[in-house]
Amino acid sequence: MRLLSEKGFNETTVDEIAEVAGISRRTLFRYFPTKADIVTAWTQQMTDVLTTSVHHCPTDFTPRDIIRSALEAVIPKIAATREEAFSSVYLIERTPALLPVSLRKYAQWEDSLADALVIRLPASPDRKLAARVAARSGIAAFRTAVDEWIRLKGRRDLGVLLGKIMLLQSETLS
Protein backbone atom coordinates (compact mmCIF):
# COMPACT_ATOMS: atom_id res chain seq x y z
CA MET A 1 0.00 0.00 0.00
CA ARG A 2 2.86 2.36 0.78
CA LEU A 3 4.37 1.90 -2.69
CA LEU A 4 1.01 2.30 -4.41
CA SER A 5 0.32 5.43 -2.37
CA GLU A 6 3.72 6.96 -3.05
CA LYS A 7 3.94 6.27 -6.79
CA GLY A 8 0.27 6.14 -7.69
CA PHE A 9 -1.85 3.15 -8.61
CA ASN A 10 -1.42 3.36 -12.38
CA GLU A 11 2.26 4.28 -12.18
CA THR A 12 3.27 1.36 -9.95
CA THR A 13 4.20 -1.84 -11.76
CA VAL A 14 3.49 -5.33 -10.53
CA ASP A 15 7.24 -6.02 -10.70
CA GLU A 16 7.88 -3.15 -8.27
CA ILE A 17 5.24 -4.47 -5.88
CA ALA A 18 6.72 -7.97 -6.02
CA GLU A 19 10.21 -6.60 -5.39
CA VAL A 20 9.11 -4.60 -2.32
CA ALA A 21 7.21 -7.63 -1.03
CA GLY A 22 10.28 -9.81 -1.54
CA ILE A 23 8.46 -12.32 -3.74
CA SER A 24 8.40 -13.20 -7.41
CA ARG A 25 5.91 -11.70 -9.82
CA ARG A 26 4.44 -15.17 -10.27
CA THR A 27 3.91 -15.62 -6.53
CA LEU A 28 2.29 -12.19 -6.30
CA PHE A 29 -0.15 -13.12 -9.05
CA ARG A 30 -0.94 -16.38 -7.28
CA TYR A 31 -2.32 -14.38 -4.34
CA PHE A 32 -3.45 -11.23 -6.15
CA PRO A 33 -4.56 -11.65 -9.77
CA THR A 34 -4.68 -7.85 -10.23
CA LYS A 35 -3.24 -4.77 -8.55
CA ALA A 36 -6.76 -3.86 -7.45
CA ASP A 37 -6.92 -7.17 -5.57
CA ILE A 38 -4.03 -5.99 -3.38
CA VAL A 39 -6.06 -2.95 -2.39
CA THR A 40 -9.16 -5.11 -1.94
CA ALA A 41 -7.25 -7.31 0.53
CA TRP A 42 -6.18 -4.23 2.47
CA THR A 43 -9.76 -2.91 2.60
CA GLN A 44 -10.93 -6.33 3.81
CA GLN A 45 -8.61 -5.93 6.78
CA MET A 46 -10.34 -2.63 7.58
CA THR A 47 -13.74 -4.34 7.27
CA ASP A 48 -12.58 -7.05 9.69
CA VAL A 49 -11.52 -4.37 12.21
CA LEU A 50 -14.91 -2.68 11.94
CA THR A 51 -16.81 -5.97 12.32
CA THR A 52 -14.76 -7.03 15.34
CA SER A 53 -15.27 -3.64 16.96
CA VAL A 54 -19.03 -3.82 16.43
CA HIS A 55 -19.22 -7.20 18.12
CA HIS A 56 -17.20 -5.99 21.10
CA CYS A 57 -19.40 -2.98 21.84
CA PRO A 58 -21.06 -3.07 25.25
CA THR A 59 -24.72 -4.07 25.21
CA ASP A 60 -25.78 -0.69 26.60
CA PHE A 61 -24.34 1.22 23.62
CA THR A 62 -26.86 3.13 21.55
CA PRO A 63 -26.88 2.59 17.77
CA ARG A 64 -25.00 5.89 17.39
CA ASP A 65 -22.39 4.72 19.95
CA ILE A 66 -21.94 1.43 18.08
CA ILE A 67 -21.49 3.16 14.73
CA ARG A 68 -19.07 5.74 16.07
CA SER A 69 -17.05 3.20 18.04
CA ALA A 70 -16.72 0.88 15.05
CA LEU A 71 -15.75 3.65 12.65
CA GLU A 72 -13.25 5.14 15.11
CA ALA A 73 -11.68 1.69 15.55
CA VAL A 74 -10.82 1.57 11.84
CA ILE A 75 -8.91 4.87 11.78
CA PRO A 76 -5.75 3.86 13.68
CA LYS A 77 -5.57 0.60 11.71
CA ILE A 78 -5.34 2.32 8.32
CA ALA A 79 -1.57 2.83 8.58
CA ALA A 80 1.24 3.37 11.08
CA THR A 81 1.36 7.15 10.63
CA ARG A 82 -1.15 9.84 9.73
CA GLU A 83 0.83 10.61 6.58
CA GLU A 84 0.73 6.99 5.42
CA ALA A 85 -2.96 6.76 6.32
CA PHE A 86 -3.72 9.88 4.33
CA SER A 87 -1.79 8.57 1.32
CA SER A 88 -3.60 5.22 1.42
CA VAL A 89 -7.03 6.78 1.82
CA TYR A 90 -6.32 9.32 -0.90
CA LEU A 91 -5.20 6.52 -3.23
CA ILE A 92 -8.37 4.51 -2.72
CA GLU A 93 -10.80 7.42 -2.74
CA ARG A 94 -9.31 9.36 -5.64
CA THR A 95 -8.12 6.69 -8.09
CA PRO A 96 -10.90 6.03 -10.62
CA ALA A 97 -9.80 2.42 -11.14
CA LEU A 98 -10.26 1.80 -7.38
CA LEU A 99 -13.76 3.28 -7.09
CA PRO A 100 -15.36 -0.20 -7.19
CA VAL A 101 -13.04 -1.32 -4.38
CA SER A 102 -14.02 1.68 -2.27
CA LEU A 103 -17.73 1.22 -2.91
CA ARG A 104 -17.51 -2.50 -2.07
CA LYS A 105 -15.70 -1.68 1.18
CA TYR A 106 -18.40 0.79 2.23
CA ALA A 107 -21.15 -1.68 1.31
CA GLN A 108 -19.47 -4.34 3.49
CA TRP A 109 -19.23 -1.84 6.34
CA GLU A 110 -22.92 -0.99 6.00
CA ASP A 111 -23.82 -4.69 6.10
CA SER A 112 -21.67 -5.29 9.17
CA LEU A 113 -23.15 -2.32 11.02
CA ALA A 114 -26.71 -3.20 10.03
CA ASP A 115 -26.27 -6.82 11.17
CA ALA A 116 -25.05 -5.64 14.56
CA LEU A 117 -27.74 -2.99 14.94
CA VAL A 118 -30.70 -5.18 13.99
CA ILE A 119 -30.20 -7.40 17.04
CA ARG A 120 -29.91 -4.37 19.35
CA LEU A 121 -32.84 -2.29 18.11
CA PRO A 122 -36.25 -2.67 19.74
CA ALA A 123 -38.51 -5.23 18.10
CA SER A 124 -40.65 -3.68 15.38
CA PRO A 125 -41.84 -4.56 11.88
CA ASP A 126 -39.27 -2.09 10.49
CA ARG A 127 -36.30 -3.10 12.64
CA LYS A 128 -34.20 -4.40 9.71
CA LEU A 129 -34.96 -1.31 7.67
CA ALA A 130 -34.13 0.97 10.61
CA ALA A 131 -30.82 -0.85 11.09
CA ARG A 132 -29.94 -0.39 7.41
CA VAL A 133 -30.85 3.31 7.54
CA ALA A 134 -28.72 3.85 10.65
CA ALA A 135 -25.78 1.92 9.15
CA ARG A 136 -25.94 3.79 5.86
CA SER A 137 -26.15 7.10 7.71
CA GLY A 138 -23.04 6.18 9.68
CA ILE A 139 -21.14 5.31 6.54
CA ALA A 140 -22.29 8.58 4.95
CA ALA A 141 -20.81 10.43 7.92
CA PHE A 142 -17.53 8.52 7.58
CA ARG A 143 -17.34 9.18 3.83
CA THR A 144 -18.02 12.86 4.44
CA ALA A 145 -15.25 12.94 7.05
CA VAL A 146 -12.87 11.30 4.58
CA ASP A 147 -13.81 13.80 1.87
CA GLU A 148 -13.18 16.68 4.28
CA TRP A 149 -9.90 15.12 5.41
CA ILE A 150 -8.78 14.90 1.80
CA ARG A 151 -9.88 18.48 1.15
CA LEU A 152 -7.78 19.56 4.14
CA LYS A 153 -4.85 17.46 2.84
CA GLY A 154 -4.78 15.37 6.02
CA ARG A 155 -3.92 18.34 8.24
CA ARG A 156 -6.72 17.58 10.73
CA ASP A 157 -7.23 14.38 12.65
CA LEU A 158 -9.68 12.08 10.84
CA GLY A 159 -11.23 10.94 14.13
CA VAL A 160 -11.90 14.54 15.16
CA LEU A 161 -13.48 15.24 11.79
CA LEU A 162 -15.64 12.13 12.09
CA GLY A 163 -16.85 13.25 15.52
CA LYS A 164 -17.68 16.72 14.21
CA ILE A 165 -19.56 15.36 11.22
CA MET A 166 -21.52 12.85 13.30
CA LEU A 167 -22.52 15.69 15.63
CA LEU A 168 -23.57 17.84 12.67
CA GLN A 169 -25.50 14.89 11.28
CA SER A 170 -27.31 14.42 14.57
CA GLU A 171 -28.10 18.13 14.96
CA THR A 172 -29.22 18.51 11.36
CA LEU A 173 -31.54 15.50 11.41
CA SER A 174 -33.05 16.20 14.86
- Check residue 172 and give its pLDDT: 93
Q: Is 54 exposed, middle or buried (0-12, 13-18, 19+ CB in 10 A)?
A: buried
Which DSSP string do the residues of 129-157 spell out, in sequence order? HHHHHHHHHHHHHHHHHHHHHHHTTT-S-
Nearest-5° Cα angle at 79, 74 to 165: 45
In the chain, the domains with their CATH numbers are 36-173 (1.10.357.10)
Distance of CA 19 to the CA centre of its chain: 27
The residues near 149 (Cβ < 8 Å, ≥ 6 apart) are: 86, 89, 156, 158, 161
| Choice between 139 and 174, residue whose per-residue pLDDT is larger | 139
In this predicted structure, the answer to whether residue 6 has a pLDDT above a threshold of 90 is no
128 or 46, higher pLDDT: 128
Most confident of 12-16, 51-55, 119-123, 126-130: 126-130
Flag whether pLDDT at 149 surpasses 90.
yes
Entry pTM: 0.89
pLDDT at site 94: 93
CB 57 within 8 A of CB 65: yes
Residue 158 has pLDDT above 90, yes or no: yes
CB 129 within 8 A of CB 78: no
- Given a contact cutoff of 8 angstroms between Cβ atoms, the answer to whether 170 and 64 are in contact is yes
**pLDDT tens-place string over residues 14-47:** 899 999 999 999 999 899 888 888 888 888 888 8
Stretch 110-125: mean pLDDT, rounded? 92
Statement: residue 137 has pLDDT above 90: yes
pLDDT over 90 at 147, yes or no:
yes
